[in-house]
Amino acid sequence: MAQTSVNRDFTISVPDDWTDRTMTIFAAPASAGQRVTPNVLMASDRVKAGEDLDAFVTRQMHDLKHRARDFRLKLRREGMLDGRDCIEVVFRWNSVEQGFLQQRQVYAMIDTARILTITNTASEADFPAADNTFQRILGTFSWAAQATPTA
């Protein structure tokens, strides 16, 4: 049991060959009448064999364009996430139940086989007001010392 996950509420260890598909979500307090609270989700996933960061993001955007109602990509750019290459996308889509949502997704490779996605979500109307908080949260991100990408 070599993989240990620690947070403020619990610790758990799993076999080393298991894939970490951790999802962590933090949400702002709800305001009266707010259909969706601004939130941040962090998730990890495996890339397909031979897939790099750009190809993974391109595949994700293609899937969203075909699955999400009224999808509109507003921004796609390369950047850095605590010293590593990343790709940032911003888009909006109609969730029907919650109306138009806007999301920022920041993608970065954890290692050669796994990718991290950090997603900021708010209603499209509330996103500009929530964005200062989203940017501050992204600014606190740092890679764990042992999370070093290998070639």
Hey, what are 19's tokens?
A: 């894939």
pTM for the whole structure: 0.89
* Sign of the dihedral defined by the CA atoms of residues 136, 79, 150, 13, in that order: positive
The structural domains of the chain, ordered by start, are 37-139 (3.40.1000.10)
29, 21 contact by CB (below 8 A): no
pLDDT digits (tens, 9 = 90+) for 23-79: 899 999 988 888 899 999 999 999 999 999 999 999 999 999 999 999 999 999 999
Full DSSP string of the chain: --EEEE-SS-EEEE-TTS----EEEEEPPP-TT-SS--EEEEEEEEPPTT--HHHHHHHHHHHHHHHSTT-EEEEEEEEEETTEEEEEEEEEEE-SSS-EEEEEEEEEESSSSEEEEEEEEEETTTHHHHHHHHHHHHHT----TT-----
Average pLDDT, the chain: 91
* CB-CB neighbours of 15 under 10 Å: 8
Give 16's pLDDT tier (boundaries 50, 70, 90).
confident
